[in-house]
Structure 1
Amino acid sequence: SIAYSTNTLIRIADGVLQNKHSNEELVVASREVAASTAQLVSAARVKSQFMSKTQNKLEDASKKVNLACKQLVDQVNKLIIGKHEVEDIDYSKLSIHENKTAEMEQQVEILKLENALSSARKRLGEIRKFSYKDDDSDEE
């Protein structure tokens, strides 16, 4: 799982540089690497001897991976925020009609984004349901 997540992160990072993938995809891929690493450490913790050197090294490596992923996500988020800075429109210079139109357009955009977010969360829930079913069938 870590190898797959890491390869995905590398592929997406390369795609971001070539404008084929988005910064948001890079954030998700980075979080997947951190999650896969945490899952590996957790599984190893169950099977290893208490306070073994190998386990301590694995824990240290996991912390470094998590820190690197966090730093990557923080940097990408700064780039995303920079891209989405609010346009400098002086609303005090707009007519009442223009101001109301801008307000309504913004409300429409917010509703579209909320609906898209809700749909995406539902899809993610469905994906996770099947993922959990697959995990259960693998253990049998």
Structure 2
Amino acid sequence: MTKQHIQDYLKARGLRKTAFRIELLKLFLESKHSLSHQDIRRKITSTQDKVTIYRGLTTFLEKGLIHKVLDANQVFRYALTIEENPEDAPKHNHAHFLCKECHNTFCLYEVKLPEYKDVDGFQVINSKLTLEGYCPDCI
């Protein structure tokens, strides 16, 4: 995706096209796995300010551009949201894969989660599925 495509993508979602947001979205587009706040801080060159990065992540979460997933250490990681319907973004209706060797978390968009209606008096808000094993790089 070119810089112009990234700018258009941000604009279409009502976001200002700042150098930081462009770099942050590009980072997610180029990443094969989810990223921790620390990963992002190491890779972003336009700022090292923790608050700026946190605000950028919060904005991207609110707009449905990314979603959060817990890793094996119960640390939040962030991944690009690629849902056919942007309204489904908060649900991120797909499975995740946690590699036991490199500890990266991957989105498995092709593995859709079943949708649950209310179950025996319970109100289901969200469901999660994390598969564990070894990623192709670690096999």
Smaller-chain TM-score range? under 0.3
The TM-score, its normalising length taken from structure 2, stands at 0.26
Larger relative helix fraction: 1
The higher-RCO structure (CA 8 Å, 6+ apart) is 1
Q: Which structure has the bigger radius of gyration?
A: 1
